[in-house]
């Protein structure tokens, strides 16, 4: 927050060191998971771990939560941190290159260096796919574009989606609790509460034309639901469960 000055063009700054910005890591479905070995087996096992008895909507929510947890564990175990693996591979290749300047590499060292270079290409492809998905630049095909551009766009998207402070008149909110309280109070004052109505309208007396639209009350069919699900964009998540259309298209 800045405070205006009368003569000088310098303004004092008020810094809040207690700003609570909760940036916990959320579950996000990675597009390349569907091509990895063991993905479908993990999905089938997690889907069957939740019984089907009860409210169908609640059951679906529990199944998606179980799959998200199982897929995350599977990814941490069999795929791991792509950036860390790239850094380790580059460090080993660098040390082998330095050793090659002083002596001839052994047969095993040359084979390791060749293997690591192939691994690096695969890891860089995964990193580019992850960065492309985070950037939401979907007009480029997978494998195209520049990873640096993807990272810059992803950082821009993150800044746009994060609210660091809000002002309401002279009141300033910086912590997440203060921001949430300010938003709730603002919309409560704006929308208010609905009063009880003393009268109602009898629509039958008005003689309005009647439309026969029984399809609006027809129950959803499994075929219709799957048709909508399969038509979703592959790299967009339509809901808060963070599963993209690629996940549903694969399963």
Structure confidence at residue 91 as a pLDDT band (50, 70, 90): very high
Q: Strand ranges (DSSP E) for the chain?
A: 166-168, 171-173
Indicate the pTM of the whole model. 0.56
Structure confidence at residue 95 as a pLDDT band (50, 70, 90): very high
pLDDT at 107: 92
Structure confidence at residue 112 as a pLDDT band (50, 70, 90): very high
CB 33 within 8 Å of CB 39: yes
87-120 burial string, b = 16+ CB within 10 Å, else e? eebeeebeeeeeeeeeeeeeeeeeeebeebeebb
Backbone dihedral angles phi then psi of residue 187, each to the nearest 5 degrees? -75, -25
Q: What's the Cα-to-Cα distance from 232 to each of 5, 58, 228, rounded to whole Å?
A: 54, 22, 7
Residue 22 reports pLDDT greater than 60:
no
């Amino acid at each position: 927050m800045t405070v205006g000055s009368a003569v000088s063009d310098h303004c004092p700054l008020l810094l809040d060191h207690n700003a609570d910005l909760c940036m916990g890591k959320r579950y996000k479905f990675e597009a390349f998971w569907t091509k990895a070995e063991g993905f479908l087996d993990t999905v089938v096992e997690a889907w069957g771990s939740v019984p089907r008895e009860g409210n169908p909507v609640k059951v679906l929510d529990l199944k998606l939560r179980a799959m998200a947890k199982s897929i995350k564990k599977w990814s941490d175990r069999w795929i791991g941190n792509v950036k860390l693996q790239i850094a380790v591979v580059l460090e080993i290749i660098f040390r082998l290159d330095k050793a090659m300047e002083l002596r001839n590499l052994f047969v095993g060292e040359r084979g390791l260096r060749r293997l690591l270079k192939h691994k690096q290409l695969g890891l860089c492809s995964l990193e580019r796919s992850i960065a492309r998905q985070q950037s939401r630049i979907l007009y480029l095909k997978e494998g195209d574009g520049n990873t640096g551009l993807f990272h810059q766009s992803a950082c821009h998207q993150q800044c746009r989606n994060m609210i660091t402070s809000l002002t309401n008149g002279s009141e300033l909110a910086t912590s997440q609790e203060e921001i949430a309280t300010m938003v709730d109070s603002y919309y409560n004052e704006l929308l208010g509460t609905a009063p009880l109505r003393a009268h109602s309208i009898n629509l039958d007396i008005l003689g309005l034309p009647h439309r026969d639209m029984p399809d609006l009350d027809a129950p959803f069919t499994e075929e219709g639901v799957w048709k909508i699900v399969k038509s979703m964009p592959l790299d967009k998540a339509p809901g808060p469960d963070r599963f993209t259309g690629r996940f549903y298209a694969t399963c």
